[in-house]
Amino acid sequence: MKAVCWWGKEDVRVVDVPDPKIINPNDAIVRVTLTAICGSDLHLFGGFVPTMMRGDILGHEFMGEVVEVGPGVKKLKTGDRIIVPFPIACGSCWFCTQGLTSLCDNTNPNAWMNEALMGYATAGIFGYSHMYGGYAGGQAQYVRVPYADTNHQKIPNGVADEQALFLTDIFPTGYMAAEACDIQPGDTVAVWGCGPVGLFAIRSAWLLGAERVIAIDRFRERLGLAAADGKTEVLDYGELDDVYEQLKDMTGGRGPDRCIDAVGMEAHGTFIDAIVDKIKQAVKLQFDRAHALRQALHCCRKGGTVSIPGVYAGFIDKVPFGTAFGKGLTLKMGQTHVHRYTQPLLERVQRGEIDPTFIISHRVSLDEAPEMYRTFRAKQDECIKVVMTTA
Amino acid sequence: MNLKEKNVAEPERWISVIAGGALAAYGLKMRSIPGIVVAALGGALVHRGATGHCMVYESMGVSTAEEQGSQVSVPYGRGVRVEKAVTINASPEVLYGFWRRFDNLPLFMHNLEQVEVRDDKRSRWVAKGPAGSKVEWEAEIINEVPNELIGWRSIEGSQIDNAGSVHFTPAAGGRGTEVKVVLRYDPPAGVVGATVSKMLGEDPAMNVQEDLRRLKRLVETGELPTTNGQSSGRDVR
């Protein structure tokens, strides 16, 4: 089969590899019909995530048709159309029973690596480094899904692939970020980053009752998409002297009640700290650039919430923790517990409350993946979201 | 157990007295509620050192004191001691039942090849050594409280003297069962010793921890998660 493989920093290739097979009783094999490149795949592409190996199959946003199930699988049969959440959950540990599926105790075969870095190991993730289990990903024609009874959401025929695909990651990720804000009547929500997660966070903030939503980015097409709903206000930080002053003015001097950092560890920025971060990251003094996080902490109103769906993987310098403490901020973060959102968000799609296809900018075939990684990374060609068919 | 009975070894008692005294002094100096807690902890350590009896050890069914007679196959101060714990989302009954069938142990103990149950007390253990070699010993159960603990040791004349115990304690708030394992080995010199060292690895504590992780995964999910055998760009057709 054809699979998109990581071959080194800024080098991904489409390689002909053996088809996956059932290894454990609870496995299923899925023929992938549609898959996507995620912003977090760019962290792998850029070489920011340790424990990648040449030949690893990428991809954690994928869906398709079940073609084979192991003897332990009870809830799936050949022919079922499913999406697969990006974190792999066992469904039976204490964390899974609490709905905290991205913190599953059991699915990471390399738990000791993850534990060495974080103290306690979290769930395995498809195509996302050996630290997260080393599972082959779904940017391929076929993929093996462990604990398949837990790791799927069936998709009814009335819902198209493109409408369902983003239930794997970015829609629940944006939604969980907005939900974590505990939005109250009258709240203003500011969202840093209008990539796919930011755009879904914006739409979700509206669904959850925000009074106002302000989007911050510097890419015209992304701000355009954010504003396309006719009610989201946008700030182009490339043209502004001071995002803080602007947000303060827009909110009567109070600051936004809820701030969402949908940027994460590869933040761009125009201030001095962003430039210092970039140099440090280049010489490996720190893994993460955190410009958006610093700004969100600074801008948030007293007693507000800073919610962080953007991915961070290591150490960050000069986070104004005193600011967060002094203002009594609530910080919420973490990998998304996708499993608990797929059913309710699918229902929102079916009711027409949101059409997730609005973020798709590029529709290509798997063969074009290497070029698309470069395009997406450079944010050229107004690239926001790439989906790939696998035939 | 008699409360006066000594279950703490001599060097450990001295360390307890010295460390406990320092902790108590520091805690009292803090003049705060955390300080009182620290001082109380220090006091408990001093008491433990002075009396040679540790409440914590007692609750675990453990003793590091030397006067243990025939109950222990590995004398204090010799060999390797490993202690690890894991919380498993299952009842003590299920876990005790699984462990008590010693022939289940090779399912999650990586270096164990086979355990043959001889009778209610005795079993024969075969562990993997380097280059296809094997280490064998016979073990007997010396202590057992159903659904709470199992203690065993190798019988006299074994290739490797070892002892172990496993304790099953319900975790608070219905969060499953805390499974704690204490193992002691006394590897002999020579070829068998080298085999045993290899078997234990450079980090015996990590080996035990990984064994317990496998037990948890097996009991909670019915299989061991793995990526062995999956395809990648490294095995290009």
Residues on chain B touching A72 (C-beta within 8 angstroms): 222-223
Residues on chain A touching B202 (C-beta within 8 angstroms): none
DSSP symbol at B155: P
Which residues are registered as beta bridge partners of B163?
Answer: B153, B184
Residue of chain B minimizing CA distance to A3: B233
- Cross-chain residue pair A135–B230, CB shorter than 8 Å: yes
Mean per-residue pLDDT for B88-110? 96
* pLDDT tens, chain A, 391 aa long: 999 999 999 999 999 999 999 999 999 999 999 999 999 999 999 988 889 999 999 999 999 999 999 999 999 999 999 999 999 999 999 999 999 999 999 999 999 988 888 899 999 999 999 999 999 999 999 999 999 999 999 999 999 999 999 999 999 999 999 999 999 999 999 999 999 999 999 999 999 999 999 999 999 999 999 999 999 999 998 888 789 999 999 999 999 999 999 998 766 655 556 666 666 666 555 555 678 999 999 999 999 999 999 988 777 878 899 999 999 999 999 999 999 999 999 999 999 999 999 999 999 999 999 999 999 999 888 999 999 999 8
Q: What is the pLDDT of residues B14-47, one digit of tens each?
A: 556 556 666 666 666 666 655 655 666 566 666 6
- Cross-chain residue pair B227–A136, CB shorter than 8 Å: yes
- Model confidence band, residue B70 (pLDDT cutoffs 50, 70, 90): very low
pLDDT at B125 over 90: yes
- Cross-chain residue pair B235–A18, CB shorter than 8 Å: yes
Phi-psi region of A208 (alpha: psi -120 to 50; beta: other; left: phi over 0): alpha
Are A85 and A342 within 8 A, CB to CB?
A: yes
Q: What is the pLDDT of residues A62-110, one digit of tens each?
A: 999 999 999 999 999 999 999 999 999 999 999 999 999 999 999 999 9
DSSP symbol at A131: G
DSSP assignment of A147-184, as one string? STTTS-EE--TTS-HHHHGGGGTHHHHHHHHHHHT---
Residues on chain A touching B213 (C-beta within 8 angstroms): 111
Cα–Cα–Cα angle for B216, B219, B222, rounded to 5 degrees: 120
Q: What is the pLDDT of residue B17?
A: 59
Chain-centroid distance, C-alpha A283: 26
Q: What is the pLDDT of residue A117?
A: 83
Residues on chain B touching A91 (C-beta within 8 angstroms): 221
- Long-range (24+ apart) CB contacts under 8 A made by B67-73 are B67/B6, B71/B142, B72/B153, B72/B163, B73/B153, B73/B154, B73/B155, B73/B156, B73/B158, B73/B161, B73/B162, B73/B163, B73/B186
Cα–Cα–Cα angle for A30, A339, A330, rounded to 5 degrees: 145
- Burial call A131-170: b when 16+ CB within 10 Å, e when fewer: bbbbbbbbbbbbbbbbbbbbbbbebeeeeebbbbbbbbbb
Q: What is the pLDDT of residue B51?
A: 61
Coil, strand, or helix at residue A231? coil
Distance from CA of B192 to the nearest CA of A (A): 29
Are A41 and A372 within 8 A, CB to CB?
A: no
DSSP assignment of B95-137, as one string? HHHHHHSGGGGGGT-TTEEEEEE-SSSEEEEEEE-GGG-EEEE
Distance from CA of B116 to the nearest CA of A (A): 27
- Cross-chain residue pair B233–A56, CB shorter than 8 Å: yes
Q: Which of B201, B224, B210 has the alpha carbon at shortest distance from B86?
A: B210
DSSP assignment of A170-222, as one string? HHHHHHHHHHHT---TT-EEEEE--SHHHHHHHHHHHHTT-SEEEEEES-HHH
Q: Which of A227, A213, A225 has the alpha carbon at shortest distance from A183?
A: A213
Distance from CA of A30 to the nearest CA of B (A): 14
Residues on chain B touching A107 (C-beta within 8 angstroms): 225
Q: Please enumerate in sequence order all residues whose Cβ is within 8 A of that of A186, keeping only pairs 6 or more positions apart, or say none.
A: A211, A257
Q: What is the pLDDT of residue B67?
A: 41
DSSP symbol at A140: B
Residue of chain B minimizing CA distance to A57: B232
What does DSSP say about strands B177-186 and B80-88: parallel, antiparallel, or unpaired?
antiparallel
Q: Which of A78, A67, A138, A135 has the alpha carbon at shortest distance from A104?
A: A135
Q: What is the pLDDT of residues B187-232, one digit of tens each?
A: 766 666 666 666 666 677 888 999 999 999 999 999 999 999 999 9
- Cross-chain residue pair B213–A111, CB shorter than 8 Å: yes
Distance from CA of A361 to the nearest CA of B (A): 28
- Cross-chain residue pair B225–A21, CB shorter than 8 Å: no
Distance from CA of B208 to the nearest CA of A (A): 12
Residue of chain A minimizing CA distance to B215: A106
Mutate to test the interface with A, among B87, B202, B206, B232 (most CBs of A within 10 A): B232
Gap between the Cα atoms of A46 and A50, Å rounded? 11
Q: In chain A, which ranges are E strands?
A: 2-8, 11-16, 28-37, 56-57, 61-69, 81-84, 87-88, 124-125, 142-145, 153-154, 188-192, 212-217, 233-236, 258-261, 305-308, 330-333, 362-365, 386-389
Of B87, B223, B232, the CB nearest to A136: B232
Distance from CA of B160 to the nearest CA of A (A): 29
- Cross-chain residue pair B236–A108, CB shorter than 8 Å: no
Residues on chain A touching B237 (C-beta within 8 angstroms): 16-18
List C-alpha distances in Å: A133 to A34, A124, A125, A129, B82: 23, 5, 7, 7, 27
Q: What is the pLDDT of residue B198?
A: 63
Q: What is the pLDDT of residue B79?
A: 73
Distance from CA of B52 to the nearest CA of A (A): 34
**Dihedral (C-alpha) A166, A202, A40, A384: value to the nearest 10 degrees?**
80
pLDDT at B68 over 50: no
- Cross-chain residue pair B175–A94, CB shorter than 8 Å: yes
